[in-house]
Amino acid sequence: MHQREALSAVSHPIRIDDPADERLAAYRDIRERDLVGREGRFVAEGKVVLNVLFGHSAFQAESVLILESRLDGLSDLLGRVPDHVPVYVAGKPVLDAVAGYHVHRGVLAIGRRRTQPDLDGFLSALPARAVLPVLIGISNHDNVGAIFRNAAAFEANGILLDETSCDPLYRKSIRVSVGAALKVPFARSGNVEGILAALDRHRFECLALSPRGRTDATALDCPGRTAILLGSEGHGLPDHVIERLRSVRIDMSAGFDSLNVAAASAIVLHQLWTHRQRA
Amino acid sequence: MHQREALSAVSHPIRIDDPADERLAAYRDIRERDLVGREGRFVAEGKVVLNVLFGHSAFQAESVLILESRLDGLSDLLGRVPDHVPVYVAGKPVLDAVAGYHVHRGVLAIGRRRTQPDLDGFLSALPARAVLPVLIGISNHDNVGAIFRNAAAFEANGILLDETSCDPLYRKSIRVSVGAALKVPFARSGNVEGILAALDRHRFECLALSPRGRTDATALDCPGRTAILLGSEGHGLPDHVIERLRSVRIDMSAGFDSLNVAAASAIVLHQLWTHRQRA
């Protein structure tokens, strides 16, 4: 029965020819939707991201929207769409009119987070040996997406974001993360003080990444629960935070001491991953 | 005399009120200019990038264009503008009309590369111990800019790009590189076969970075001249290239083996830099 329904959904996607059709309301003016009125929903784009969405239980898909001309090449993906999720199909003019821009990939879905974990619940669920990037004031969607991608590649156990960092479920962050934003568990809550207190309650050692850090990153290991605080490109972490924590630096050229925060996260997460593999 | 001219240039920037003024021709429709008709010129944006431009001899500035309201805060920068380079000043409506978009930083310059090195000349000028990222088919402006930034931070001696990689002097690449595209020497020439032959002539050991590489990146050192070939995100390096060279991998999660090429360059360049510092 389930098998037949799945096949039926794949065989009979719902064709929509009217850009004003209310079933596509969640896809309307996608770029503006990044800013306001997302109501817990997110937009997933592209085959790779949708495969993560359908394979990960923390998120549920509400609908799928496929460009007509892409349909033939997507039977594997469409076979993974849960039975109850409608698959809409539209021609290019309709798709572009609804989305409000030129949707060149032509593979979209609307998803929703099943649950929004609170900070203590999130931290207590992490294992006794854990690596946790903590993003403070990182509001650039590309950087947040790139840090999630690095976290997935190097098996960080989760990501924590303060309330001034951007939501990883922004369309662009999900896209840059290649779906990792739907895969790596995360919580986004409170300010740096509240986060540090919670990390302390849950017995995390907190490292502050800073160009002026006292410990070189190549000396890092991760014996227990390790949180790595990362600040924004412009301002970095607040001084009072760096002073209170064990601070870590990535040594680099004195003539060009400028590293993107996502690149820095790649180096530190790779270091910790390599160390854990060998331990 | 020089002192007086410099002061004079700072004291008397040239005010322009007509968006059609021919002296601003090089700033017209900046975004389209990224694609065609650059004629050896490039657009530099922002204070940090302009500081690199005025401090680096491989490039000459042709003119500077400043948003009127930014002028007061830029006396240090303007003091570094060479005497013969005109500094134009315009109000916001004029600047946006000329550039064709909302120029929020309000600090622009037109630059030109003094010389375009040929491949052999470029390679022979590198030192006996050198690290050289080689970009094959990397056409994404962000990735190219980010790789330049990492190369500057970890003191790569230059960057080589094949003809299918994008020009590092595209506006967006320069911006993402935080000026490193104007600082790290580079050549962009020919295809992968011609590049490998030239690297061989100049006694480079060539490493191919690939998820299927035989050597783990953490084992890398750099005893002499080392070239690291990096391929595009989508396709990576051609198989026949990987098979001919010493191949290097960055170990990562089997469940998410996806690392951005710029992040990969950060890890490898950091590894080689750390090794060189300790040697």
Task: Report the alpha-carbon distance of residue B221 to residue A188 in Å, rounded.
Answer: 40
The mean pLDDT of A175-199, rounded to a whole number, is 95
A4: pLDDT strictly greater than 60: no
Return all residues near A62 (Cβ < 8 A) that are at least 6 apart. A26, A41, A85, A109, A110, A111, A112
**Whether residue B173 is found in the same domain as residue B74:** no
Measured distance between the N- and C-terminal CA atoms of chain B, rounded to whole angstroms: 48
Closest residue, chain B, to A211 (C-alpha): B153
**Whether residue A48 is found in the same domain as residue A176:** no
**Whether residue A270 is found in the same domain as residue A194:** yes
Inter-chain CB proximity B251 and A178 less than 8 Å = no
Where in the sequence is the domain holding A33, given as residue range(s)? 2-113
Closest residue, chain A, to B149 (C-alpha): A259
The mean pLDDT of B221-226, rounded to a whole number, is 89
Q: Confidence class of residue A2 from pLDDT cuts 50, 70 and 90?
A: very low
Q: In this complex, which of A154, A260, A273 lies closest to B149 when CB atoms are compared?
A: A260
**Whether residue A189 is found in the same domain as residue A80:** no
The mean pLDDT of A175-184, rounded to a whole number, is 95
Q: Read off the CATH number of the domain in which A74 is found.
A: 3.30.1330.30
Residue type, A63: S
Q: Which residues of A touch B262 (CB under 8 A)?
A: 260, 263
Q: What 3-state DSSP class applies to B26?
A: helix
Task: Report the alpha-carbon distance of residue B171 to residue B177 in Å, rounded.
Answer: 10
Q: In this complex, which of B153, B154, B253 lies closest to A153 when CB atoms are compared?
A: B253
B239: pLDDT strictly greater than 90: yes
Q: Which residues of A touch B256 (CB under 8 A)?
A: 152-153, 155, 180, 183
The mean pLDDT of A208-234, rounded to a whole number, is 92
Higher pLDDT, B177 or A11: B177
Predicted local confidence at residue B119, as pLDDT: 95
- With beta carbons less than 8 A apart as the criterion, state whether B13 and B89 touch: yes
Which of B80, B113, B146 represents a domain boundary (last residue)? B113
**Whether residue A168 is found in the same domain as residue A231:** yes
**Whether residue A67 is found in the same domain as residue A192:** no
Closest residue, chain B, to A179 (C-alpha): B256
Task: Report the alpha-carbon distance of residue B278 to residue B132 in Å, rounded.
Answer: 19
Which of A46, A78, A113 represents a domain boundary (last residue)? A113
A33: pLDDT strictly greater than 70: no
Q: What 3-state DSSP class applies to B189?
A: coil
A263: pLDDT strictly greater than 70: yes
Q: Confidence class of residue B117 from pLDDT cuts 50, 70 and 90?
A: confident
B178: pLDDT strictly greater than 80: yes
Q: Confidence class of residue B100 from pLDDT cuts 50, 70 and 90?
A: confident
Predicted local confidence at residue A3, as pLDDT: 42
How near does any CA of chain B get to the CA of A18, in Å?
A: 33
Predicted local confidence at residue A1, as pLDDT: 39
B4: pLDDT strictly greater than 70: no
Inter-chain CB proximity A153 and B273 less than 8 Å = no
Q: Read off the CATH number of the domain in which A141 is found.
A: 3.40.1280.10
Higher pLDDT, B41 or B31: B41
Predicted local confidence at residue A221, as pLDDT: 83
Task: Report the alpha-carbon distance of residue A179 to residue A194 in Å, rounded.
Answer: 28
Task: Report the alpha-carbon distance of residue A126 to residue A225 in Å, rounded.
Answer: 9
Least confident range from A68-72, A264-268, B128-132: namely A68-72
> Which residues is A108 bridged to in the sheet?
A45, A65
- With beta carbons less than 8 A apart as the criterion, state whether B265 and B147 touch: yes
Positive or negative, the CA dihedral A119, A274, A258, A170 is negative
Sheet strand arrangement including B130-136:
B186-188, B159-161, B130-136, B225-231, B205-209, B246-249, B215-216
Task: Report the alpha-carbon distance of residue B114 to residue B41 in Å, rounded.
Answer: 10
- Between the alpha carbon of residue A226 and those of residues A249, A262, A267, A278, the distances in Å are 16, 18, 15, 17
Burial class (CB in 10 A: 0-12, 13-18, 19+), A223: exposed
**Whether residue A168 is found in the same domain as residue A239:** yes
Which of B113, B144, B174 represents a domain boundary (last residue)? B113
**Whether residue A144 is found in the same domain as residue A171:** yes
Which alpha helices (DSSP H) does B20-124 contain, by range? Answer: 30-33, 47-55, 75-79, 92-99, 119-124
Q: Which residues of B touch A274 (CB under 8 A)?
A: 218, 251
The mean pLDDT of B4-23, rounded to a whole number, is 74
Site of tokens 């690291």? B228
Q: Which residues of A touch B144 (CB under 8 A)?
A: none
Closest residue, chain A, to B216 (C-alpha): A274
- Between the alpha carbon of residue A38 and those of residues A31, A167, A231, B58, the distances in Å are 11, 11, 26, 48
**Whether residue A159 is found in the same domain as residue A267:** yes
Task: Report the alpha-carbon distance of residue B202 to residue B125 in Å, rounded.
Answer: 10
Predicted local confidence at residue B33, as pLDDT: 65
| pLDDT tens track for A37-64 | 566 789 999 999 999 999 877 889 999 9
Number of domains in chain B: 2
What's the half-sphere exposure (Cβ side, CA atoms, 13 Å) at B69? Answer: 9
Measured distance between the N- and C-terminal CA atoms of chain A, rounded to whole angstroms: 48
Least confident range from B65-69, B80-84, B160-164: namely B80-84
The mean pLDDT of A121-142, rounded to a whole number, is 96
Predicted local confidence at residue A36, as pLDDT: 52
**Whether residue A170 is found in the same domain as residue A228:** yes
SS3 string of chain A?
CHHHHHHHHHHCCEECCCCCCHHHHHHCCHHHHCCCCCCCEEEEECHHHHHHHHHCCCEEEEEEEEEHHHHHHHHHHHHCCCCCCCEEEECHHHHHHHHCCCCCCCEEEEEEECCCCCHHHHHHCCCCCEEEEEEECCCCHHHHHHHHHHHHHCCCCCEEECCCCCCCCCHHHHHHCCCHHHCCCEEECCCHHHHHHHHHHCCCEEEEECCCCCEEHHHCCCCCEEEEEEEECCCECCHHHHHHCEEEECCCCCCCCCCCHHHHHHHHHHHHHHHHHHC
Predicted local confidence at residue A196, as pLDDT: 97
> Which residues is A205 bridged to in the sheet?
A226
Predicted local confidence at residue A40, as pLDDT: 76
- With beta carbons less than 8 A apart as the criterion, state whether A43 and A81 touch: no
Q: Confidence class of residue B7 from pLDDT cuts 50, 70 and 90?
A: very low
Helix H or strand E segment including B209 = strand B205-209
**Whether residue B176 is found in the same domain as residue B162:** yes
Task: Report the alpha-carbon distance of residue B206 to residue A16 in Å, rounded.
Answer: 53
Q: What 3-state DSSP class applies to B132?
A: strand
Task: Report the alpha-carbon distance of residue B50 to residue B66 in Å, rounded.
Answer: 11
**Whether residue B125 is found in the same domain as residue B254:** yes
Predicted local confidence at residue B252, as pLDDT: 95
- Per-residue tokens: B81: 């503008």
Helices A141-153 and A261-278: angle between axes, nearest 10 degrees: 10
B35: pLDDT strictly greater than 70: no
Task: Report the alpha-carbon distance of residue B37 to residue B188 in Å, rounded.
Answer: 18
